Structure 1
Amino acid sequence: MTVTRLGPGRTLAAVAVAVVLTSALVGPVSAGDPYAYFDWDVSYITAAPLGVKQQVIGINGQFPGPIVNITTNWNVVVNVLNDLDEPLLITWNGIQHRKNSWQDGVLGTNCQIPSGWNWTYQFQVKDQIGSFFYFPSTNFQRAAGGYGGIIVNNRDVIPVPFGKPDGDITLFIGDWYSKNHTDLRKMLDGGKSLGMPDGVLINGKGPYRYNDTLVPRGIEHETINVHPGKTYRIRVHNVGISTSLNFRIQNHNMLLVETEGSYTVQQNYTNLDIHVGQSYSFLVTMDQNASSDYYIVASARIVNESIWRRVTGVAILHYSNSKGKASGPLPDPPQDFYDKTFSMNQARSIRWNLSAGAARPNPQGSFRYSSINVSQVYLLKNVPPVVINGKRRATLNGISYFPPETPLRLADQYKLKGVYTLDFPTRPLKGAPKIGKSVINGTYRGFMEIIFQNNDTKVQTYHIDGYAFFVVGMDYGEWTEDSRGTYNKGDGVARSTTQVFPGAWTAILVSLDNVGIWNVRAENLDAWYLGQEVYVRVVNPEDTNKTELPMPDNALYCGLLQKFQNEQTPHHRASSSSITYVRGKLVVLMSILVAMATFT
């Protein structure tokens, strides 16, 4: 096995510990599959991205957090020490966790990591490539940061459908509030909306001072250094709370090549709308004359842009031979005030590259989704927030999800009754909305059609954990059975997050071949926090351990199963290993260390 990305200052003995711990925690893995081990201390740090000091969430003191750079089929072990003053979970946006929803990092599958405790995630990026990101999934913590990128590279034996770029750059764009996430949470709990953000960050930094009125002095901005004539792969993630952003680089074309694990038909864009939770890869060639630096812009979309002017992120693209600073007006956003179809048509233009391979040598187009019979249909309807039992809540099909104290997957493992119900409606409920713990009963190896109907006034994005799905249609108005006649039956792109425009619908198809309990959620953080989510339960009716990995030895217990949890002594900023959770493995560890000492 190969050991990669050990923490700084790790000794030979520490390497041995990492090797043994990884083997013990991950369990049986293929001899040819390497693994990567990461130690993360998640803590509060002080930053002032918009010129106002505030508390943000950093990982190992970094904001944004480190990039996880791995390769298809690698096993990943991430030991997380929760140095926050509240519980924590990390979720892996777009990572499919084949047969392993135990590592999903959401409340339906995991108990939260208590303050001062550590917990080790272990999963394999099985048959997957592409650009993804991670973030804290509970307690509105994503509004404080805690996010970072995930790059899953192709294996050397699988060709990539473009030449090797001269560099790889990750950009995190997202709306930002100067209030702490706890204050934002209180606003939502008190029935208020979040209102307009205070700005947009690029890589955790505020805007370049392109305008003396809109941007005050003393704000640090991001600078991307490049060389003339070189081509770079630029991965862009919208990690914000609720604002769709238009991304553009002044005077440069952006060749779209990949989104969320799928190679796309290669098309040039001068700008692209990137909605909350979405990730894209572009190839950008530095083909300008560098008379000055260039603007990199992420500005608010599908809003009143004259009022939202300050909700704009600006970074600088700096050629090594640049002759001066960027100046003047920003490159224009799309001029679609009277053409509401611009953004939707742009989204429809993103198509699957049928001839390219991805994680496997066979072309992506070998999976002909249009020839598979649909076995289940769910129309999930979103409406503006409503008041239920005196509280402002968000709903899907009239149900606002409220997570039980015992995670759903843990309840299944211990055959607990009454934790949730398998009765989520296939169509919107008639009558008053309600709070519930209703779950979709998915058919293993079935083919599900989901229509997201957005009857709210703002763009919503929706994400499904554990799967990539095919985006086959979107249009304005109410979806009907006749709408299927407009579906893309050939090269709809496969991804894990899709936008749904206000007053419109988006249809997806998903093959339920991954056993587990999987989160379907609004990526707009306010809607998610207020209950806009549901889980899909996918169980193999045959009693076999080949379709799902067993419950991990280090599983945390809570709710009705709290009595099984062994106490862990809080150890803030503690050791980098996860020995706490390796039960019964220390004898093996000591034997190997003794053998190594004898050998050396």
Structure 2
Amino acid sequence: MAFWSFLNVLVIHICLFVSLCFALDPFVSYNFEVSYINASPLGVLQQVIAINGKFPGPTINVTTNNNVAINIRNKLDENLLITWSGIQQRRSSWQDGVLGTNCPIPPKWNWTYNFQVKDQIGSYFYFPSLNFQRASGGFGGFIVNNRAIIPIPFATPDGDIIILIGDWYTRNHTALRKTLDAGRGLGMPDGVLINGKGPYRYNDTLVPDGIDYETIEVQPGKTYRIRVHNVGVSTSLNFRIQSHNLLLAETEGSYTVQQNYTSLDIHVGQSYSFLLTTDQNASTDYYIVASARFVNESLWKRVTGVAILHYTNSKGKASGPLPEAPNDEYDKTFSMNQARSIRWNVSASGARPNPQGSFRYGSINVTEVYVLKNKPAVVIDGKRRMTLSGISFVNPSTPIRLADWYKVKGAYKLDFPTRPITGPPRMETSVINGSYRGFMEIILQNNDTKMQSYHLDGYAFFVVGMDYGEWTDNSRGTYNKWDGIARSTTQVYPGAWTAILISLDNVGVWNLRTENLDSWYLGQETYIRVVNPEATNKTELPIPDNALFCGALHKLQKPQDISSFATSVTGEISKLFTLLMIICAVIPIIY
């Protein structure tokens, strides 16, 4: 009798414990082994970066408010960090995966990222942020779904498809790095990959035989959500599917006003969701095309990715010429007007039940203004460098947030200029001082001849204006103050400007960079430091227990990888929860 009384009390406590735990936001875990494999995406054998033996890597699929743990085992022969493009680690730049905030994961080490996808939905991707590694792979999709109680502003699709597009070199990232270090440009890419595969042989002259290409199979009469990410090195790509309309529905966490496009320019680092209805005749397969933009397209014909959309009842292979890209030779505003047409769906719910447009960004007073200007490459101290407002960023040996926490002096300067410097360009670790709960206006001025994409970690910003020429104070009269799209990556056209507004509500140190890998590698970036003067865990989480140490703090680092323990603990906790749930389910049967 005493035994059964004890068991009853034990079961009650166990079930109460399980109920308490499951009342919290769910926990999702992934294990990533990052290594080299050999592959021939363009018919030339080369070394690529794989995750769990796959190139591209697996898709991370979670739901908003999930707590996410991703254990990284670095099997490369160099340091590694993974960054989560567009994922806003609320209160935790410790998990951002860039050198300004994190020490790198050494070879043969494990390290576990822990963050929450708080109040966020949408289409994103991840990639390695160090040493030009993204040019060799290591990337994959990252989906954050709505909770079931929050409606999406369209009928539930019949399927979800990820398409990763990007320019590609048959030289690996170490060779490309050496080219840049020697003061030379990378030259024309060797092709464009779609989901890690080369082009379908639509042209016998441009495409050699024997290249593996991507086939996406669909059923007729269905609607699919297609999430497209430009994960390439530096080339803007026009995306299109032969004979099909692309109904734009979401970009980087914001639902858009739904509009049909026959094609859309997707710039480096950008992500879009389209709804594709398979309503065409299935007499043949259809081309999926990603072709180079804002280059000499007659010379860059080989820089075209081609995959196949295959209906299950298709009667033949795709053939003939590719669907044409936009011809804006005589209309330089075509692509910009297309970008301006992308609007925020202010009546749709985002990650919360309230409409997206309930945040009236147009009525908030701007507290600080920065004009960031990039120019063509310059030589500083004998090195070819890229600059932002005349400053070429130098990554600190001690990450900025780590230096703050341990009060390391001299790790960086909090003096990034509000306007471009007038003197000679210089190399510095210069950081923007952002005011907590301020409202920052940033004008990105592109005085180079190449298209640029800019990304801000930790935030979605409002894209409120863009135009050709030099930005002036009068340009504010053209801003969209009502339904400008909120996103984390925006394009800036050559000889043009783009204006963004940011609500600085996420405490931390956040990377602002060009997504063009060559320019980023050569220094075209900075960080925005946002500090709450009142220290509290409510606005920023404390330094994680498994933090890595380097630079001035390297002596604090233990000589072994202590974070591998987190993975085993995660596995054991998962087993314990499963056991507890079984016990709770079985007890009523016993009684």
1:337 aligns with 329
TM (normalized to structure 1)? 0.92
1:108 aligns with 100
Q: Kindly provide the CA deviation profile for residues 15-67 of structure 1, in whole angstroms up to 9, marking residues without a partner as x.
A: xxxxxxxx9xxxx9983300111011000000000000000000000000000
In the TM superposition, what are the counterparts of 1:246-265 in structure 2 within 5 Å? 246-265=238-257
Q: Cα offset for 1:200?
A: 0.1
**Does 2:303 match 1:317?**
no
2:565 aligns with 579
Q: Cα offset for 1:180?
A: 1.0
1:9 aligns with none
In the TM superposition, what are the counterparts of 1:76-87 in structure 2 within 5 Å? 76-87=68-79
Does the 8 Å CA contact 1:74/1:126 hold for their aligned counterparts?
yes
Match of 2:553 among 557, 561, 564: 561
Does the 8 Å CA contact 1:553/1:581 hold for their aligned counterparts?
no
Residues in 2 aligned to 1:379 and 1:187: alpha-carbon distance in whole angstroms: 31
**Does 2:477 match 1:475?**
no
In the TM superposition, what are the counterparts of 1:152-171 in structure 2 within 5 Å? 152-171=144-163
Match of 2:395 among 397, 403, 415: 403
1:421 aligns with 413
1:531 aligns with 523
AA of the residue aligned to 1:258: E
**Does 2:85 match 1:93?**
yes
Q: 1:421 to 1:228 in 2, by over 3 A?
A: same
Residues in 1 aligned to 2:212 and 2:240: alpha-carbon distance in whole angstroms: 20
Q: 1:273 to 1:89 in 2, by over 3 A?
A: same
* Percent identical: 74
Q: Cα offset for 1:430?
A: 0.7
2:271 aligns with 279
AA of the residue aligned to 1:468: A
**1:84 counterpart SS class:** coil
1:73 aligns with 65
Residues in 1 aligned to 2:432 and 2:103: alpha-carbon distance in whole angstroms: 21
Residues in 2 aligned to 1:578 and 1:183: alpha-carbon distance in whole angstroms: 32
Does the 8 Å CA contact 2:112/2:566 hold for their aligned counterparts?
no
Does the 8 Å CA contact 2:111/2:561 hold for their aligned counterparts?
no
Does the 8 Å CA contact 1:154/1:359 hold for their aligned counterparts?
yes
AA of the residue aligned to 1:64: P
Residues in 1 aligned to 2:473 and 2:561: alpha-carbon distance in whole angstroms: 57
Q: Kindly provide the CA deviation profile for residues 441-476 of structure 1, in whole angstroms up to 9, marking residues without a partner as x.
A: 000000000000000001000000000000000000
**2:177 counterpart SS class:** helix
**2:555 counterpart SS class:** helix
Q: Cα offset for 1:543?
A: 2.3
In the TM superposition, what are the counterparts of 1:146-295 in structure 2 within 5 Å? 146-295=138-287
Residues in 1 aligned to 2:258 and 2:561: alpha-carbon distance in whole angstroms: 53
In the TM superposition, what are the counterparts of 1:339-354 in structure 2 within 5 Å? 339-354=331-346
Q: Cα offset for 1:545?
A: 2.1
> What RMSD in Å do the two structures reach over aligned CA positions?
2.1
Q: Kindly provide the CA deviation profile for residues 272-328 of structure 1, in whole angstroms up to 9, marking residues without a partner as x.
A: 000000000000000111110000000000111000000000000000110100000
Larger radius of gyration: 2
Match of 2:456 among 458, 464, 481: 464
**1:268 counterpart SS class:** strand
1:520 aligns with 512
Residues in 2 aligned to 1:550 and 1:88: alpha-carbon distance in whole angstroms: 23
Q: Kindly provide the CA deviation profile for residues 45-93 of structure 1, in whole angstroms up to 9, marking residues without a partner as x.
A: 0000000000000000000000000000000000000000000000000
Match of 2:533 among 541, 545, 549: 541
AA of the residue aligned to 1:343: S
Residues in 1 aligned to 2:452 and 2:362: alpha-carbon distance in whole angstroms: 26
Q: Kindly provide the CA deviation profile for residues 359-382 of structure 1, in whole angstroms up to 9, marking residues without a partner as x.
A: 000000000001000000000000
Does the 8 Å CA contact 2:110/2:561 hold for their aligned counterparts?
no
Residues in 2 aligned to 1:242 and 1:339: alpha-carbon distance in whole angstroms: 23
Match of 2:131 among 116, 125, 139: 139
Q: Cα offset for 1:546?
A: 1.4
Q: Kindly provide the CA deviation profile for residues 419-439 of structure 1, in whole angstroms up to 9, marking residues without a partner as x.
A: 001100000001100000110
**2:50 counterpart SS class:** strand
Residues in 1 aligned to 2:235 and 2:29: alpha-carbon distance in whole angstroms: 34
1:361 aligns with 353
Does the 8 Å CA contact 1:386/1:392 hold for their aligned counterparts?
yes
In the TM superposition, what are the counterparts of 1:492-507 in structure 2 within 5 Å? 492-507=484-499
Q: Cα offset for 1:567?
A: 1.0
Residues in 1 aligned to 2:334 and 2:24: alpha-carbon distance in whole angstroms: 47
Match of 1:433 among 403, 425, 432: 425
Does the 8 Å CA contact 1:172/1:238 hold for their aligned counterparts?
yes
AA of the residue aligned to 2:477: G
Residues in 2 aligned to 1:45 and 1:327: alpha-carbon distance in whole angstroms: 33
Q: Cα offset for 1:578?
A: 2.8
Residues in 2 aligned to 1:201 and 1:441: alpha-carbon distance in whole angstroms: 39
Residues in 2 aligned to 1:559 and 1:580: alpha-carbon distance in whole angstroms: 24
AA of the residue aligned to 2:496: A
Q: Kindly provide the CA deviation profile for residues 366-401 of structure 1, in whole angstroms up to 9, marking residues without a partner as x.
A: 000010000000000000010000000000000000
Q: Cα offset for 1:158?
A: 0.3
Return 5+ residue gaps in structure 2 as ranges.
1-16, 587-591
Residues in 2 aligned to 1:69 and 1:107: alpha-carbon distance in whole angstroms: 26
Residues in 2 aligned to 1:368 and 1:29: alpha-carbon distance in whole angstroms: 36
Residues in 1 aligned to 2:167 and 2:434: alpha-carbon distance in whole angstroms: 35
1:446 aligns with 438
Residues in 1 aligned to 2:126 and 2:141: alpha-carbon distance in whole angstroms: 6
Residues in 2 aligned to 1:487 and 1:548: alpha-carbon distance in whole angstroms: 32
**1:484 counterpart SS class:** helix
1:3 aligns with none
Q: Kindly provide the CA deviation profile for residues 218-246 of structure 1, in whole angstroms up to 9, marking residues without a partner as x.
A: 10000000011011000000000000000
Residues in 2 aligned to 1:489 and 1:516: alpha-carbon distance in whole angstroms: 27
Residues in 2 aligned to 1:569 and 1:196: alpha-carbon distance in whole angstroms: 41
Residues in 2 aligned to 1:243 and 1:540: alpha-carbon distance in whole angstroms: 38
**1:247 counterpart SS class:** strand
Does the 8 Å CA contact 2:370/2:418 hold for their aligned counterparts?
yes
Number of residues paired by the alignment? Answer: 565
Q: Cα offset for 1:141?
A: 0.1
Residues in 2 aligned to 1:569 and 1:75: alpha-carbon distance in whole angstroms: 23
Does the 8 Å CA contact 1:554/1:581 hold for their aligned counterparts?
no
